[in-house]
Structure 1
């Protein structure tokens, strides 16, 4: 089992100023675990934690898109706490707009944060974990990492990339005693759908009335989502402590329903493809 039972665990968590990341940091500190919490603003994190001061908290202002900064942050964590047990890649933001109206700069920025940033953390965290022969890597994806959704093309693309990366990673590091989990939550009562965390395209394209309606509906959603971020944080801790969680850990009844529908659609496509698929084999 890669989670320590004889001492406080050391966690490295990204995206901790708000939402799920903040709730996870609060819970871990309450448990007595040691937490390196990355943020774009240490001041905002301190304010979010109501000025909580503890030797178990190492706040780190890090640009996750910078390999050098990430490497230094992980090194400081190991130096401060003597090791690294769990990494939670949680940093990210939403983007709601049609594929046609999403500019190239927005695409690059999204992938820099959601994919390249996660990759930077993984590259830096793996050496000490391999040396220890243990550890747990948790990548926070989304229900939209498992299914497409109109208007969310950029966010979906980044989360699908994260899903593929994580699946490959899990197979690569299993022999080192390192566990890997994708956490896939549905809608939670965080500020994800507010201007703090949701980006819209600067210019829209006429004709996408359904996307505009969806945007308005999502902007009106905060406070009505099914998911509780504090409960989701507790679920992540259970995933790590259990030692036998599946690669894909879904969170939320809405996620279960949507993914079940996606599986049925994929099965229908498989059957519809079967006759033509076998015609492309080299003749025996």
Structure 2
């Protein structure tokens, strides 16, 4: 997008009270931008921003799965700041458990947050970006939106869905001058691997000791992740400021390693199945 230089840009950021979202909001406010930050707790958000000037912050408690509530949040954005320039779909949480151990409630909650919530935000903000013929949509996915691991099936399903809709959206928005980026972080040193952000199956079975071990290994990883959230948030800002870059933007050396391995494995699968694929066309 042509980044506003004479007036502050207005950012609409979901999942803003923890992790990358919180650090992003902090840096944006320090830059002097307008920020609409949705969260489940504005009290927690404001407490986390202690010491940061918040005159240009509009903190809103929004159930993203409620389309009417999202529409109201966007209406409040326009009433307060007059426009929206950058949309960051960042809300999310992790889940560890086998496919067999995942309940109906687990599935619906994950998709409400990762997919339905993001979709509601997009449907509500796109008309304004499209009419302005400018702006940037940044959907924060994960390296697990490109590759999968055992025990992360539900989380991967949500992130794979977010990646799919984002790539379609990028093609749809091109003619309107609206940029779309998918940010795919690796492991960042946030609270993502703590009970606040990482759910664990409530119905474990004895059939998956490996997943239990992997779950504990992830909990033990907390505090030693490679990714720096300060640098990660700065990278997200840079994506919007420059208005350039790939649709799929990895963050973290670990994300790059995982992505390259996935590409190699997928290429091997495609070539291994080529001969059979060629036999299924009409003669």
Matches within 5 A, 1:245-260: 245-260=245-260
CA displacement at 1:53 relative to structure 2: 4.6
Q: Hey, what's the Cα distance between the residues in 1 that align with 2:6 and 2:246?
A: 24
Q: Report the secondary structure of 2:270's partner residue.
A: helix
Q: Report the secondary structure of 1:199's partner residue.
A: strand
Q: Report the secondary structure of 1:12's partner residue.
A: strand
CA contact 1:3–1:136 (8 Å) conserved in 2: no
Partner of 2:163: 163
Matches within 5 A, 1:1-284: 1-50=1-50, 52-283=52-283
CA contact 1:2–1:178 (8 Å) conserved in 2: no
CA contact 2:25–2:35 (8 Å) conserved in 1: yes
TM-score, normalization: structure 1? 0.98
Q: Hey, what's the Cα distance between the residues in 2 that align with 1:176 and 1:248?
A: 20
The one-character-per-residue Cα deviations of 1:153-183 (angstroms, maximum 9, x if unpaired) are 0000000000000000111111111100000
Q: Report the secondary structure of 1:83's partner residue.
A: coil
RMSD (Å) for aligned C-alpha atoms: 0.9
The one-character-per-residue Cα deviations of 1:197-228 (angstroms, maximum 9, x if unpaired) are 00011111212010000000001111110001
CA displacement at 1:84 relative to structure 2: 0.5
Q: Hey, what's the Cα distance between the residues in 2 that align with 1:142 and 1:267?
A: 21
CA displacement at 1:148 relative to structure 2: 1.0
Q: Report the secondary structure of 1:281's partner residue.
A: coil
Q: Report the secondary structure of 1:171's partner residue.
A: helix
CA displacement at 1:102 relative to structure 2: 0.5
Q: Report the secondary structure of 1:181's partner residue.
A: strand
CA displacement at 1:55 relative to structure 2: 2.3
The one-character-per-residue Cα deviations of 1:89-114 (angstroms, maximum 9, x if unpaired) are 00000000000100111001100010
The one-character-per-residue Cα deviations of 1:26-82 (angstroms, maximum 9, x if unpaired) are 000010011001111111111111164532111111111110110000111111111
Q: Hey, what's the Cα distance between the residues in 2 that align with 1:282 and 1:211?
A: 44
Number of matched residues?
283
Q: Hey, what's the Cα distance between the residues in 2 that align with 1:159 and 1:2?
A: 29
Q: Hey, what's the Cα distance between the residues in 1 that align with 2:270 and 2:54?
A: 54
Q: Hey, what's the Cα distance between the residues in 1 that align with 2:218 and 2:65?
A: 28
Q: Hey, what's the Cα distance between the residues in 1 that align with 2:212 and 2:223?
A: 20
CA contact 1:2–1:177 (8 Å) conserved in 2: no
Q: Hey, what's the Cα distance between the residues in 1 that align with 2:139 and 2:80?
A: 23
Q: Hey, what's the Cα distance between the residues in 1 that align with 2:61 and 2:53?
A: 16
Structure 1: 4+ residue segments shifted above 4 A: none
